[in-house]
Amino acid sequence: MPRSAQQSAAGATAPKTVAQKLQEERYPPFVRVTMRRWVKWYLDGTEAFWPFSDVAIRFLIAMWFLRSGLVKLNNWDGAVFLAANEYPVGWMDPVSAATTGLAIELIGPALLIAGFMTRPAAMTMAALTIVSQAVYIPTTSNLIAGAILIWYAFHGPGVISIDRAVAGGIKQSALPLARPAIVASEFARERLAPVIMAITRVWIAVSLLNHAQLIQPSVAVQTWLPTTIFAGFPGWLAVIFAGLFLTGFGAVIVSYTLFPLILAYMIIGAHPAVTLFPFLFLGIYEAKGAGFLSLDRAILAWLDKNILFDRAYADIPERWPHIVIVGAGFGGLAAVTKLKRLPVRITLIDKRNYHLFQPLLYQIATATLNPADIATPIRSMFKGDGNVRVIKGEVNAINPAARTVTFDQDCTLFYDRLVLATGATHSYFGRDEWRPYAPGLKTIEDAVAVRGEILNAFELAEAAGDPARVERLLTFVIVGAGPTGVELAGAIAELAKVSVAREFRMIDPASARIILVQSGPRILPSFPESLSQRATRTLENLGVEIRTNSRVTEIAEAQVRIGDDTVIETETVLWAAGVAASPAARWLGANDDRSGRVLVNDLMRVLDKDGKPIDDIFAIGDTAGSNAWNGD
């Protein structure tokens, strides 16, 4: 049994009921985890492919209507004649009927393809197919196209559509009835579309039974059954598929089986007409499932309860190993994402309750983005994973012998495996006295402070009457030309030359000097030289002064000294020159490198002072002192 399960501080778990214990024994972790991964992979794959399938289905349906509309537009007299004699509508005169039909066939497809006002467009197009089926020439294409359009009228389009793109904004807007309309559309998609699919299933099943001659509906009823889709099917096969459709069992298997069967019978000429519409319907059926009152839904509910268990953390079996991950940066989140599908309990500890996308901090610093744009609540990322627990706390000690992590001074957590992903902080290379004059970018607080300093420099320059002071205020020095320094220099240049260029009266923000200082021979030294050269040209085109082979030797309140003889007068210095690892090595008493990174072996296991792996403790990301992918 894992040691953490023997410790009360690992988190008390609720007593297991007899049913829970039997369930755990009946479905061992290996079986549950394996099935869980398979089901999740399939569902994720279906979800990933559906947007593209959705676009293809909408496009093909739209083209069918548009072709008919263009034919009528090219022969308007013929369209009016057909409306008067072939499919007259009793409550409309021929010209009005032809005009209405033509408008639907020309405007509806455009809306359907764009995914704009999709529901009303699909409903009117479905109505046109129903009218055509009722009073003109009954065809299977009308029936299947109508069924697909009715489903779209309730479900709406996929994510690649204007409707879905603007839904979030409209829902939060002050437009009259906007929020109720979006809520109603969401209800239709989540609740009513599965019911429509269930009705469609029964309709298909009746058609199959009619083909097998087990039922004999009237001729009028048969007009509304797409029986010809299954032309050539032997009766026994039609009965089997009818049963599968009626029960809603195996939607995926049914779709993948019917597709080649229908295609094969088309090729051998069993079908009176070749059409793509049955395949479009099968694509929806495979992706969206059998809908309401189906065995598939019941099976998925069973899987969700027994296999896809997103149960409460307290209900996770105590015998599952307890993995503690410290740090919710990129490395920590990647570790949780990979491990959460396994039979383990995971506790993620971070001093913040949000994940910060650090590569975009420079955009906060230059007022391009707001803090909320790059901060994601950690709990929201794992709310569907019952075996993941998130704790907000700052770790201050680790005891490898006792297998404990101490955070917030007096809170202790026991672990079976420990992963350190604590990242890095600023390094001033032993000159910490520079910190007040040269802030860095590692946190939202840093970025907000830097933004205030940059914008305040323009404000102070506007009010200053001394030209020398104005020049100092409009001089920005960035120390370090790695990715952060380069992005920051470019963003400040754009801010000065574009964003605030016309907002001041006494100064010209575009005249601001942005100086990028790099101790090495080129900027972006960790990237290919060709990329470094392109970045250099881009920055120089923005007016950034790049000083390579220049080492900062002193930073004071209003100046920066480079080398022994160059002094730059400035009141804004930003630090992007170096990082130091977290104090993880000090917590562990482990080996570290010059930057404070914990030394690890090729399996990312932490090494002690003697170079031996410490049991069950790993370090990843900026915490780990690894020179290559395998730790060598």
Report the catalytic residues: 487
Residue 140: Cβ within 10 Å count? 21
Instruction: Give the integer Cα–Cα distance in Å for 445 and 308.
Output: 39
Among candidates 111, 108, 121, 185, which has minimal Cα distance to 154? 185
User: E strands, 440-571, where?
Assistant: 475-479, 513-517, 544-547, 552-555, 559-562, 566-569
**DSSP states along 486-504:** HHHHHHHHHIIIIITTTS-
Residue type, 457: A
Q: Are 308 and 39 a contacting pair, CB within 8 Å?
A: yes
Look at the block and give the residue holding tokens 């009218």. 131
- In this structure, the strands spanning 566-569 and 544-547 are unpaired
In degrees, to the nearest 5, what angle opens at C-alpha 91 toward C-alphas 86 and 95?
60
Among candidates 370, 382, 512, 521, which has minimal Cα distance to 454? 512
Instruction: Give the integer Cα–Cα distance in Å for 428 and 438.
Output: 9
Look at the block and give the residue holding tokens 């900026």. 622
Q: Are 535 and 486 a contacting pair, CB within 8 Å?
A: yes
- In this structure, the strands spanning 552-555 and 544-547 are unpaired
Q: E strand or H helix at 326, and its extent?
A: strand 322-326
Instruction: Give the helix, strand, coil percentages of the chain, each rounded to 5.
Output: 55, 15, 35
Q: Are 532 and 523 a contacting pair, CB within 8 Å?
A: yes
SS (H, E, C) 44-59: HHHHHHHHHHHHHHHH
Strands, sheet with 572-575, edge to edge from the N-terminal-most edge strand: 544-547, 513-517, 475-479, 572-575
Among candidates 466, 448, 471, 461, which has minimal Cα distance to 504? 461
Residue type, 24: E
Contacts of 427 (CB under 8 A, 6+ apart): 577, 578, 579, 580, 595
Q: E strand or H helix at 283, and its extent?
A: helix 277-288
Q: E strand or H helix at 337, and its extent?
A: helix 330-339
Residue type, 556: A
Instruction: Label residues 437-446 b or e (16+ Cβ within 10 Å = b).
Output: bbbbbbbbeb
Residue 16: Cβ within 10 Å count? 14
Instruction: Give the integer Cα–Cα distance in Å for 163 and 2.
Output: 51
Torsion sign across C-alpha atoms 517, 437, 368, 579: positive
Instruction: Give the integer Cα–Cα distance in Å for 138 and 448.
Output: 67
